[in-house]
């Protein structure tokens, strides 16, 4: 049909093809009606199938609905720089009494972050993403922002965070996105972030605990804890505790903790099976960077599971996710050996846009 072709969508359903002189239109509230230009009449039923239909889902990515000076609704395609009075969602109409789908949306290793949110509208939702100035965090934040969410990039380096905000606004000038200071290696900074966020008097629907450090040389934070443990786990743990009341008041809400499959290759218990706190924040003589990372990721999963057990009755869901094999990130920048290994393996791994899929998918299920 002409409407579908104009929207860049092919008509593949011959049953719904309109007879000559008929036109498909939509009302402001999403119902489809049909105009017969020969007989100068309109009707709700499709002239061939007799079915009544309505618009399904949200506008495609890059489209926006506006109203002209006469009060008539039209649609703006920001990607292709064009406008039309034909609703691009006419390709996705459903029967008036649809049956609930029995299958979920499928995705595979090649699916990108933007594709996983296709058709979703997060207008009115508030999302906080830690470590969002690059990598998975940036792709996650960008995807939420370009689908209408109010996104806060919680980052240590404000120069890079503001650059990330500018990149998102460069793709869509109306995106609601901002940066706030959060240094997970300093518990006082975590507390200041929580206070500043609460001062905004907004809800919090999604909190993505994404920031992480990898292959760091041994060091202690100003709080006296091993840096990898505090940045990857304890800082996020403290942040969630401080924002827990906001999450519950915003229910349904979700916490997504970005962990790693490497959590399987470590243990935090001693020989008797009890928790060994010395393994969480080890001394310099007992420190191995890879093991410290693995233990912090195990803590992420244990924390997420317990958080879900405690808060799910109050409408807050918590999930831990392994994003996939990650070689495009700068997380390996602290040691040249890891940089070399990551570079050699890069052709066989996913891009950052693909790695963000699992984080985003958890918010859509």
Higher pLDDT, 347 or 196: 196
Q: What is the pLDDT of residue 168?
A: 95
- The alpha carbon of 330 is separated from its chain's Cα centroid by a whole number of angstroms, namely 20
- The alpha carbon of 172 is separated from its chain's Cα centroid by a whole number of angstroms, namely 16
Q: What is the pLDDT of residue 359?
A: 54
Per-residue pLDDT band at 217 (split at 50, 70, 90): very high
Q: Taking residues 162-188, what's their average pLDDT?
A: 96
Instruction: Report yes or no: 247 and 255 within 8 Å, Cβ to Cβ.
Output: yes
User: Has 328 been annotated as catalytic?
Assistant: no
Return the minimum-mean-pLDDT range out of 34-48, 93-107, 252-266.
Answer: 93-107
Q: What is the pLDDT of residue 5?
A: 40
Q: Taking residues 124-132, what's their average pLDDT?
A: 96
Q: What is the pLDDT of residue 303?
A: 96
The tokens 């209408």 sit on which residue?
A: 148
Per-residue pLDDT band at 98 (split at 50, 70, 90): very low
Return the minimum-mean-pLDDT range out of 34-43, 139-148, 186-195, 304-313.
Answer: 34-43
Percent of the chain with pLDDT over 70: 73
Q: Which of 33, 107, 287, 293 is catalytic?
A: 293
Cα–Cα distance between 149 and 176 in angstroms, integer?
A: 7
Q: What is the pLDDT of residue 189?
A: 98
Say if pTM beats, i.e. exceeds, 0.95: no
What is the tens place of the pLDDT at every residue in 40-83? 777 878 888 888 887 777 788 888 888 777 666 788 888 888 88
Question: For the chain, what is the HEC assignment?
Answer: CHHHHHCCCCCCCHHHCCCCCEEEEECCCCEEEEEECCCCEEECCCCCCCCCEECCCCCCCCEEEEECCCCCEEEEECCCCEEECCCHHHHHCEECCCCCCCCCCCCCCCCCHHHHCCCCCCCCCEEEEECCCCHHHHHHHHHHHCCCCEEEEEECCHHHHHHHHHHHHHHCCCCEEEEEECCCCCHHHHHHHHHHHHHCCCCCCEEEECCCCCCCCCCECCCCCEHHHHHHHHHHHHHHHHHHHHHHHCCCEEEEEECCHHHHHCCCECCCCCECHHHHCCCHHHCCHHHHHHHHHHHHHHHHHHHHHHHHHHCEEEEEECCCCECCCCCCCCCHHHHHHHHHHHHHCECHHHHCHHHHHHHHC
Q: Taking residues 19-34, what's their average pLDDT?
A: 78
What is the tens place of the pLDDT at every residue in 225-259? 999 999 999 999 999 999 999 999 999 999 999 98
Higher pLDDT, 179 or 272: 179
């Amino acid at each position: 049909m002409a409407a579908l072709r104009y929207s860049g969508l092919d008509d593949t359903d011959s049953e719904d093809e309109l007879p000559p002189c008929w036109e498909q239109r939509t009302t402001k509230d999403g119902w489809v009606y049909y105009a017969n230009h020969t007989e100068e009449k309109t009707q709700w039923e499709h002239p061939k199938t007799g079915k009544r239909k309505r618009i399904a889902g949200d506008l495609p990515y890059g489209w926006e609905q506006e109203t002209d000076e006469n009060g008539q609704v039209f649609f703006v395609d920001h990607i292709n720089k064009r406008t039309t009075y034909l609703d691009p969602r006419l390709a996705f109409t459903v029967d008036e009494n649809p049956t609930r789908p029995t299958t979920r949306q499928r995705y595979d290793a090649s699916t990108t972050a933007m594709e996983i949110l296709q058709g979703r509208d997060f207008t009115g939702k508030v999302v906080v993403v830690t470590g969002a100035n690059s990598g998975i965090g940036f792709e996650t934040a960008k995807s939420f922002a370009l689908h209408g969410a109010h996104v806060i990039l919680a980052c240590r380096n404000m120069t890079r965070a503001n650059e990330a905000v500018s990149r998102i606004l460069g793709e869509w000038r109306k995106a609601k996105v901002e940066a706030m200071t959060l240094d997970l290696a300093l518990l006082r900074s975590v507390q200041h972030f929580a206070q500043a966020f609460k001062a905004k008097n907004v809800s919090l629907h999604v909190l993505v605990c994404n920031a992480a450090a990898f292959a760091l040389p041994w060091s202690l934070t100003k709080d006296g804890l091993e840096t990898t443990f505090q940045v990857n786990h304890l800082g996020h743990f403290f942040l969630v505790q401080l924002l827990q009341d906001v999450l519950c008041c915003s229910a349904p809400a979700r916490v997504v903790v970005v962990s790693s499959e490497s959590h399987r290759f470590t243990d935090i218990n001693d020989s008797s099976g009890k928790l060994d706190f010395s393994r969480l924040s080890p001394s310099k003589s007992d420190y191995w960077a890879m093991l410290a990372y693995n233990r912090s990721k195990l803590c992420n999963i244990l924390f997420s599971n317990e958080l879900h057990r405690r808060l799910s009755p109050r409408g807050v869901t918590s999930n831990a996710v392994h994003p996939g094999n990650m070689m495009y990130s700068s997380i390996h920048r602290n040691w040249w050996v890891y940089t070399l290994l990551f570079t050699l393996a890069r052709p066989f791994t996913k891009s950052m846009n693909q790695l963000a899929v699992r984080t985003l998918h958890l918010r859509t299920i």
